Amino acid sequence: MTKIHPYDEPKLTLPRRVVRRVRYELGQAGLTEQWVAERFGTAYLWRRRLGVRLRPSAAPQTPLRSSLCRQDQLESPAFRAWAARMGQPFQLHRKVWEFCYIAQALDERGMLQPDRRGLGFAVGHEPLPALFASMGCDVLATDLAAEQAQGTGWIETNQHASSLADLNLNGVCPPEAFARQVSFRPVDMNAIPADLSGFDFLWSSCSLEHLGSLRHGAEFIYNAMRCLRPGGVAVHTTEYNASSNGPTVRTGGAVIFRRRDLRAIAAELRAAGHDVAELDFTEGTLPADLHVDRPPFTHNPHLRLSLDGHVATSFGLIVRKAEASSGLRIG
């Protein structure tokens, strides 16, 4: 018998044949036991004992579906290329995945072309406005007004934008093109101005969960559709509860959407005639998919984290606006 002490699991004694099988599977996946243990603890081995495959997940879907953050997708050539283009140091971090996911989803749908108009919500210091401008798009970047953002923690943690100067810090876009093609405007996501309309695409990156409640987040998604022209594309990423489809965080500064919430949102959007990319709740099976980052966070890897007693990750939602109004209130 060989003893294995899994991370965050009770001490366990496994038969040698099981340990040999685990090591064989690690080798088949191109991994070493030492590498896995050093970076992720032995939770990976423990999960394999419970029947979770060690082999890489299926190749990322093209075009992207509405889906969970996964290691295999983040490590794909397309996502790596977007990270490099945005000047993002590549790491197994869900924020990197969110930026790459949004860019890939929009690019696949023909949105990142010269003279396309894009609208970004709660952009903070994201590289996306500069990236899209570098590809010829005209971008309106928005964030909460500075006086409203006071006390929320966004300014203190350097996650709030108050001017254009905050949006091209990495020099992703040539300064002249950035000044010509990117503008900034304070916007409250709970009260989108009526004059924001006719955009080819829009996005938000893990911001709609900070609007006060699950319902506020859903209402933002519905209301934002009014900002698009017919056939325009919206891409949102948000917190997803990977450990519960029942109890969750419903109200407060950071809520966590469940599978049932996302399905309800998709159903309402489809009822209004919009095209929602298929919801894919497939979970990854690679080491970073199984690791849960816990406070104080190491951020390496950081695809999943412990949040208010739940395991959370990111989920991406892709919606194309109906070509003609269905007569319903959404969009």
pTM comes to 0.81
The list of the chain residues with pLDDT below 70 reads: 1-61, 146-162, 325-331
What tokens appear for 80 in the block?
Answer: 């790596």
The tens digit of pLDDT for each residue in 79-118 reads 999 999 999 889 999 999 999 999 999 999 999 999 999 9
pLDDT of residue 155: 40
pLDDT of residue 166: 80
pLDDT of residue 249: 98
